[in-house]
Amino acid sequence: MTDPDESDARGLKSVERAFDVIEFLRDSGGATLSETADALDLAVSTAHIHLSTLVDTGYLVRDGDEYRCSFEFLRTGGDRRDGMALYRAAKPELDELRDETGEHTNVMVEERGYSVQLYKSESPESIDDDASLGDHFYLHLTATGKAILAEFDDERVSEVLDRRGMPANTEDTITDEAVLREELETIRERGYSINRGEHFPGVCAIGTAIVSEPDGAIGAISISGPRSRLTSERIETELAPALLNKKNIIELKIRQYE
């Protein structure tokens, strides 16, 4: 007899449902039992089992009739981030780069074909897309993402684009693969990428990959701010040299951690 919680070769249906519950509560900010059951098309009794189990494990909290994700996820993600050589090496350098430029600075990693923001050093003088830590972005529409793609070979670029596609966030987003590949060649020659309003209207960013042997590109760093301030002249004469200098320092520091 087949267990009702068994799935195909990929895993257990009960585990998949539990993560559906977690993701729904994360996106909604919290919900009641009935709201969760309705949203996920689950029987109320099934939804109650999942919610109760996740409360017991500490990954959800219950406040009256409402359930929401607990800070256990913050600890899990924070522990992983804090243990990364990339984060430890980049954080102080990005704080310094923020002070030098007066703009936001960022570090990201690539995971499952997405760009994931690890840290943002915010300048009170600047503004950008107001993305939260841990946010996932398509690689083709951010400066850090394009810098990472430029380090990939053609086959791996194709794998990412086939898996994730090239949706548009703004009217300036590159959605033509041939155009993107031409830009990746320019990034390889120049050493840094530019995002001119492709992810968020009015925001510009420049990025460069952080490379560690033998792993290749392990992440990327960027400077971001209002498009009106990140002019082509300022990028070429001030921001790009400062960014590439930090790239070299961070890569050297990472080697010391290994």
Each residue's pLDDT tens digit, 88-101: 999 999 999 999 99
Q: Is the distance from CB of 180 to CB of 166 less than 8 angstroms? A: yes
11: pLDDT strictly greater than 80? no
**DSSP β-bridge partners for residue 196:** 204
2: pLDDT strictly greater than 70? no
pLDDT score, position 9: 46
pLDDT score, position 18: 92
Q: In the structure, what pLDDT confidence band is assigned to residue 148 with cuts at 50, 70 and 90?
A: very high
Domain boundaries, the chain: 13-70, 77-257
233: pLDDT strictly greater than 60? yes
61: pLDDT strictly greater than 80? yes
> What average pLDDT does range 64-89 have in this prediction?
90
pLDDT score, position 125: 84
Q: In the structure, what pLDDT confidence band is assigned to residue 126 with cuts at 50, 70 and 90?
A: confident
Burial of 226 (0-12, 13-18, 19+ CB in 10 A): middle
The residues near 149 (Cβ < 8 Å, ≥ 6 apart) are: 139, 140, 157, 160, 180, 184
User: How much is the pTM?
Assistant: 0.83
Q: In the structure, what pLDDT confidence band is assigned to residue 87 with cuts at 50, 70 and 90?
A: very high
pLDDT of 150-181, one tens digit each? Answer: 999 999 999 999 999 999 999 999 999 999 99
pLDDT score, position 222: 97
pLDDT score, position 132: 72
Task: Please give the Cα distance from 121 to 156 (Å, whole number).
Answer: 30
- The pLDDT > 70 percentage for the chain reads 95
10: pLDDT strictly greater than 90? no
Note the CATH architecture for domain 13-70: Orthogonal Bundle (1.10)
133: pLDDT strictly greater than 80? no
In the block, tokens 């053609």 appear at 154
Q: Looking at domain 77-257, does it have CATH number 3.30.450.40?
A: yes
Of 5-9, 11-15, 22-26, 190-194, the poorest mean pLDDT is in 5-9
CA–CA distances in Å: residue 178 to residues 18, 88, 160: 40, 36, 14
pLDDT score, position 3: 42
pLDDT score, position 258: 66
Residue predicted with more confidence, 141 or 74? 141
